[in-house]
Chains A and B, each alone.
Chain A
């Protein structure tokens, strides 16, 4: 079955870059769209953006100036970079498949377990 696993540092210093990778198993990342979502106590669930392997990305405007997503088909992974982090970026970060149902409504149908990232000196 399809599984997703986030990886990356759990602690990032303020003003530095948060980098996370999502490793996908059970399906080729070339076949679907993929997304990042984060969850903090203060802001709840927040969609960060999505990527498709053709290179098309769509980012949340609230983060767009600091976010970059990329994909590596040889490793079946996709990645998130968030620059100039502050304490407000402390959250659990999830990767998920961004899937269109038969009714053409997108949803996050498969999620990774999530990884906690703390921004602190």
Chain B
């Protein structure tokens, strides 16, 4: 299985901040990388697919970049509703695997 790491594991931020979360698989996954947002008691929500494509309905302050073994999720101007846990997922190789998550709180 491809092992995914995320950094940081948690961070504290303020409304209006710019955030960057990193995801690193242990092998090349090209652009087969998705990002999800999860709030307590809710299902994950797809934000970014194929490393950099914004899912329909997701605000443009979310963006993704990277390829291979180094990926980034960026949130510009953090909003109150963005405080959540963020997960990356690789779908290059079966089984698809998720990162451990990055919790963003105030």
Enumerate chain A interface residues (CB-CB to B < 8 A).
44-47, 49, 58, 60-62, 94, 96, 101, 103, 105-109, 111-114
Contact = CB atoms under 8 A, between A and B. Distances in A.
A87 B39 CA distance: 25
A109 B55 contact: yes
Contacts, number: 62
A107 B46 contact: yes
B25 interface: no
A111 B44 contact: yes
Interface size range on B against A: 20 to 34
B49 A114 contact: no
Interface of B: 31-34, 36, 42-46, 49-51, 53, 55, 87, 89, 91, 94-98, 100-101
A103 to B, nearest CB: 4
B34 A105 contact: yes
Nearest to A97: B46
Contact of A45 (B32, B42, B44, B91): B44
Contact of A109 (B42, B46, B51, B101): B46
A107 B34 contact: yes
B98 A105 contact: no
Main secondary structure of the interface of B (DSSP, over half): loop
A37 to B, nearest CB: 8
Given A103-B53, A107-B49, A47 B95 contact: yes
B96 A101 contact: no
A36 to B, nearest CB: 12
Closest 4 CB pairs of A and B: A111-B43, A45-B98, A105-B50, A60-B95
Contacts of B36: 108
A25 to B, nearest CB: 16
Contact of B96 (A44, A47, A114): A47
